[in-house]
Amino acid sequence: MRIAVIGGTGTLGRHVVADLEGRGHRVRALSRGSAEHPVDLRTGAGLPEALAGCAVVVDASNDQSRQAARTLVDGTRRLLEAEAAAGVGHHVCVSVLGCGRVPIGYFRTKVRQEAAVTEGPVPWTIVRAAQFHELVAATLGGPVLPLPRVLLQPVAAADAARAIAEVAERPARRGWVEVAGPEVADARALARTWRSVTGRRALTFPVPLPGRLGRELRAGALTSVRPDHQGSATFTAWLERP
């Protein structure tokens, strides 16, 4: 199949592109910086040309700025219109595990992005992924680290990409698929792992997270008891990879 991956140069997207190519698909990696297929979800520029002939679109784009909704919500609507015009038969949206339970701005935007997909004109599947090891490692990399109690079930971006590629190969489910890692761990335990494997030091200190946000994060809102796809690489194994 010809498959377009929006955000095909990102942390997740580059693994999705490689995995789909490994399965024999013809893949177009789309992003603002792409030399071959430049597109901008904020304006819609380049989408009709880049989507021509594609059967499936995987949206692995991201925007964590204050204006994230312009890319993730308005951009999704633009993208779906362009997909409908191009005859795309399956839109795979990458979202975040537990985003509906955790009251922070970015997650609220992801919920609105999901609504744009479910109300949109193209058959869809939404893949809700846990935090990537890459994100956890980058977050723990700071010299001073305030650590609330948060249960996480991080997954390697490569493992999440494999699950997303499998979803993209199948017909649209008009439903949700959960992807998480092999272990649930508290952020403080992950910080200890990071220090012990990397040998680097960081000044960590516990901080309380009051209210509903803290309750949800401590209760495991970002984890899944029975994910549809479970990555195999633990955080330790991922940090120790060659």
Ligand X SMILES: NC(=O)c1ccc[n+]([C@@H]2O[C@H](COP(=O)([O-])OP(=O)(O)OC[C@H]3O[C@@H](n4cnc5c(N)ncnc54)[C@H](OP(=O)(O)O)[C@@H]3O)[C@@H](O)[C@H]2O)c1
Burial class (CB in 10 A: 0-12, 13-18, 19+), 134: middle
Helices (H), 33-174: 47-51, 68-69, 75-86, 105-118, 133-140, 157-169
Determine the residue with CB nearest ligand X: 10
Which of 131, 223, 224, 234 lies at the binding interface for ligand X (CB under 6 A)?
131
Which of 129, 158, 177, 185 lies at the binding interface for ligand X (CB under 6 A)?
129
Please tell me the distance from the alpha carbon of residue 225 to that of residue 49, in angstroms, as a whole number: 42
- State the nearest-atom distance from the C-beta of 40 to ligand X, in Å: 5
Measured from the CB atom, is 37 or 201 closer to ligand X? 37
Binding span for ligand X by CB under 6 A among 11-19, 83-91, 186-194, 204-212: 11-19
* Contacts with ligand X, 12-51, as mask; x by CB under 6 A: xx-----------------xxx-----xxxx---------
CA-wise closest residue to 217 among 141, 104, 68:
104
Which of 3, 27, 62, 178 lies at the binding interface for ligand X (CB under 6 A)?
62
Contact between residue 193 and residue 123 where contact means Cβ atoms under 8 Å apart:
no
C-beta neighbour count of 25 within 10 angstroms:
18
Binding span for ligand X by CB under 6 A among 7-15, 181-189, 210-218, 226-234: 7-15
- State the nearest-atom distance from the C-beta of 174 to ligand X, in Å: 19
Please tell me the distance from the alpha carbon of residue 130 to that of residue 135, in angstroms, as a whole number: 10
The answer to whether 10 contacts ligand X (rule: CB under 6 A) is: yes
Measured from the CB atom, is 10 or 227 closer to ligand X? 10
153 phi and psi angles, rounded to 5 deg: -135, 60
The answer to whether 181 contacts ligand X (rule: CB under 6 A) is: no
Binding span for ligand X by CB under 6 A among 18-26, 128-136, 164-172, 228-236: 128-136
- What is the separation of C-alpha 44 from the centre of its chain, rounded to a whole number of angstroms? 21
Question: Which is it for strands 185-186 and 151-152: parallel, antiparallel or unpaired?
Answer: antiparallel
By CB under 6 A, name the binding residues for ligand X.
6-7, 9-13, 31-33, 39-42, 60-63, 71, 75, 94, 96, 110, 129, 131-132, 135
